[in-house]
Amino acid sequence: MPERDPSEYSRDPAEFRPARESSPWRIVIALLVLAAAAAAGWWYWSRQRQTTPPAPTATAPQPDIPATPAALPAAPAATGPQNPIDALAQPDAALPSLADSNAAVTKALTDLLNAKSVASFLQIDDFVRRFVATVDNLPRAQAPSRMWPTQPTPQRFEVTRTDETLTLDPANAGRYTAFIAFTDSIDSAKAVAVYARLYPLFQQAYEELGYPGKYFNDRLVAVIDHLLAAPEPQGPLQLKLTEVKGTVPSSRPWTRYEFADPQLEALSSGQKLLVRMGPDNERRMKSKLRALRGQVATGEMAKR
């Protein structure tokens, strides 16, 4: 599938609000890798046979995660952040506005990761908004591709076909090798310092989604907890091919693969990613998520 043309990307903050639900690393950069894999996995998982179906229409945000088997717990009422970011590092004293932050954010990421890694793995245009929206969407049923902060995973999603069944091809796990190596190469202390220095931009982007009085770092901790709760199924994972028809009849409607197990299919987009990565990769990514949580969970939630 071709990537979305950058010229189609909207900078209207409303475009980053969560889409209506359909029935739906090590330190910060490592979580970006998770988002990248999730996005790419969904991209190839929901392959189309004709043209790309319309992206989900942005609607008013839903602060509470919909009731699903893996829903996030309700956040406690609070008058301030539960995980203060100033416990990590002081934000830069003179940050640009969010609308003018591309150059500053690009420099910070390039200094941390080097130019080649930034070009290979990240979508820099409106990076902060992309990152915040994708993190917010990982516990939901969909993480729309127009919001991804990272490049798609290479190669195609593969299935194993027999006369009677479709299963997830174990070879798909190899598609994530480069991303895992990328996270392993990141200096954890430097990455968390970059996050803290730029945090006011992430907070502003989060409030633009429709969460005034809420705090992005608290959301990040809650999303990590949600991802860590993903199941770790063993053995071949059976799939089914589902036809998805639009409002206009077509002789070649687009199709997508779904888990045959309804409990797996009911998982969020982020948890499905972890399952699709294969058990070994899932365990490695969860280990990184726990390490990330150990540094960004600075308040009472750190005791959980």
Which segments within the chain are labelled E, that is strand?
159-161, 166-168, 238-244, 254-259
Is position 77 within any domain?
yes
Is position 206 within any domain?
yes
Number of domains in the chain: 1
Mean pLDDT of the chain: 77
Range of the domain at 68: 6-303
Is position 260 within any domain?
yes
Residue type, 10: S
d(Cα 14, Cα 79) in Å, to the nearest integer?
25
More confident residue, 206 or 53: 206
**Per-residue pLDDT, 49:** 33
**Per-residue pLDDT, 302:** 63
Q: Is residue 263 pLDDT above 80, yes or no? A: yes
- Rounded to the nearest 5 degrees, what angle is found at the Cα of 32, between the Cα atoms of 66 and 209? 45
The pTM is what? 0.74
d(Cα 41, Cα 217) in Å, to the nearest integer?
25
Is position 1 within any domain?
no
d(Cα 111, Cα 225) in Å, to the nearest integer?
29
